[in-house]
Amino acid sequence: MRKTSYIILTFLLSYCFTPDGYLPKIDTEKININLSSTKNPSTFIKLGYPPSFLTQEKNNWQLKFENATDRWDIYTNPDQPIRVFNTKINRYDLINKNSIDRNTSWEFDKVKSSYVKSIIGTWGDFNFPNPQSYKDVYIINWGQDTLEYYYKFQILDAGINTYHFKYGPLDGPSHFLDTIYKDEIQLYSYFSLVNNEQVKSIEPSTREWHIQLNYQVDSITKHPKIPYSSTSSNTIGLFPSVELNHRHVKTYIDSLMNYEQINYINSKDFTFEKSENILGLFYQKDPTTNQIKINPKQTLIVQSLDEFYAIRAINLTGSSISNHSITLEIKKL
C-alpha cells in the first residue's frame, strides 16, 4: 500500500512540472495598418498586450532635426524625394537661381543597412560640445502637388540643445531666422520651410511607441529585390520602411526559424542590435507578376528592456506600395 501511494505521489508531482525548455503556446495579437503616401504615410506602434497604434495624417514638413544631445543630424522628409545641393558657399546673399544648372550635383539622404545617412549631416565640425558650423548654404528642392519649390538653408550655429538657422525661397527678397530647441521627449523635431513653422504633431513621445511603419525614398538600383512605388524622379523610388525607436529598443531579424518556434528562451540566443531604420522589411516582389506581397520568412524580434516581441506580416491588401494595408501578427515572448 505504501509503495502504491509513493508511485501515485510521484506521478502527481511530475505532472505539475513542465520539462526544461518547454513553454506553452503563446497568444498573439493582430493589427491592420493602412498606409498611403498621400494621406497617412506613417503609423506608430506601441508594443504590449494588446498592442496599440497611432496613424498620422500627411503633414507639410521638409526637415527633421535630431533631438539627442550628442547628435545634430538634419534629415529630409522620407516620404517624398527632397534633393539637396551644398553650394559650399557661406554667403547667403550670393545664392540664387544662377547657383544651379543642369549639371548641379543633387543628392538625397542615403539609406544604409540600419540607418539613414543625412545629406545635410556634414554642415559643421562636431568635435566640440557646440558644433562649429561651416555656414555652407544648401539649396533644397522638392515638388508638391503641381508646384516646384526651391529654398536655401544655412545653419548659423548650434548648441547642445539648439539649432539656429536662416532660410527662405531661393529667389525671394527676404529671409527668415529660426531656432529649434531640442525636445528629448521626441526623437526628432520637424520643420516646414513653406509654412515657416515647427510642426509638433508628427511624433508621439518616445515612451509611447516602439516601431513605426512609414516610407523612405532611395535609389531604385540599390534595392532590386524590394518593391517600390514611382516618384517624380526616375532614379528614386518610394520604399516601405520600418523606423525604430532606437532609444528604447534593440532588434534582431530572423529568417530561419518558424514563427511558432520563437519563444522567450531561444530569443536570448539572438544578437540584438540598435538600429534606426530597416528598408523593405515584411515585403517582397512576386517573381512572376512583379506584384507586392508579404515576406513570410522575415520575423522582427524587438527587445525593450526585459521584454521581447516577435512580429511578422501575415496579410497584404492592395497592389501598390504607395497605397495598401498590411496585417501584422505580434506576440509577446
Q: Is the Cβ–Cβ distance between 41 and 32 less than 8 Å?
A: no
Of 184, 199, 214, at which residue does a domain stop?
199
Half-sphere exposure of 7 (CA within 13 A, CB side): 4
Give the pLDDT of residue 269.
86
Give the pLDDT of residue 291.
87
Summarised one tens digit per residue, pLDDT across range 208-244 is 999 999 999 999 999 999 999 999 888 999 999 999 9
For residue 238, the 8-state DSSP code is E
Number of domains in the chain: 2
- Kind and range of the H or E run holding 10: helix 2-16
Residue 230 domain-assigned?
A: yes
Q: Do residue 88 and residue 129 come from a single domain?
A: yes
Residue 24 domain-assigned?
A: no
Residue 123 domain-assigned?
A: yes
Of 161, 183, 199, at which residue does a domain stop?
199
**Is the pLDDT reported for residue 48 higher than 70?**
yes
Residue 132 domain-assigned?
A: yes
Mean pLDDT value across residues 182-207: 94
Give the pLDDT of residue 131.
93
Mean pLDDT value across residues 130-156: 94
- Kind and range of the H or E run holding 267: helix 264-267
Q: Do residue 118 and residue 168 come from a single domain?
A: yes
Q: Do residue 245 and residue 314 come from a single domain?
A: yes
Residue 23 domain-assigned?
A: no
Q: Is the dihedral of CA 185, 186, 187, 193 positive or negative?
A: negative
Q: Do residue 72 and residue 194 come from a single domain?
A: yes
Domain that holds residue 193: 63-199
Give the pLDDT of residue 23.
53
Give the pLDDT of residue 289.
83
Residue 9 domain-assigned?
A: no
Q: Do residue 255 and residue 326 come from a single domain?
A: yes
Distance CA 231, CA 238 (A): 7
Residue 17 domain-assigned?
A: no
Q: Do residue 82 and residue 189 come from a single domain?
A: yes
